[in-house]
């Protein structure tokens, strides 16, 4: 028979002190505002010449010419930080109203 009273601690951490608000943090709270802003600006306008990729891909999407897998990937890559920034802002705004 194995004595479990001296075994290693449980892998489940104890609840955070100060209530359950720390345990209910939204995943966007871990993303820094500054990093998202820099990434959104850099990837949103890169490359500047001849035209930013995000603007080019959005024009292709509206025009119905966004068909190549590389162009779709490019649109997702260049718009992802902006999308995350919008999600973080929306969660921040809703949490302040609650």
Going residue by residue through the chain (98 aa), what tens digit of pLDDT does each one get?
555 555 555 565 555 544 445 556 778 888 888 888 898 888 888 888 888 888 989 999 999 999 999 999 989 988 999 999 999 998 888 888 86
What's the CA gap between 89 and 36, in Å, rounded? Answer: 11
Domain boundaries, the chain: 28-97
Of 42, 69, 41, 66, the residue nearest 56 (C-alpha): 66
The model carries a pTM of 0.64
CB 70 within 8 A of CB 56: no
């Amino acid at each position: 028979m194995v004595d479990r009273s001296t075994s290693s601690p449980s892998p489940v951490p104890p609840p955070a002190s100060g209530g359950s608000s720390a345990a209910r943090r939204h995943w966007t709270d871990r993303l820094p505002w500054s990093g998202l802003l820099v990434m959104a600006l850099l990837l949103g306008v890169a490359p500047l010449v001849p035209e930013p990729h995000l603007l080019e891909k959005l024009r292709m999407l509206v025009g119905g010419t966004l068909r190549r897998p590389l162009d779709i990937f490019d649109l997702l890559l260049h718009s992802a930080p902006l999308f995350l920034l919008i999600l973080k802002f929306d969660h921040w705004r809703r949490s302040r109203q609650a």
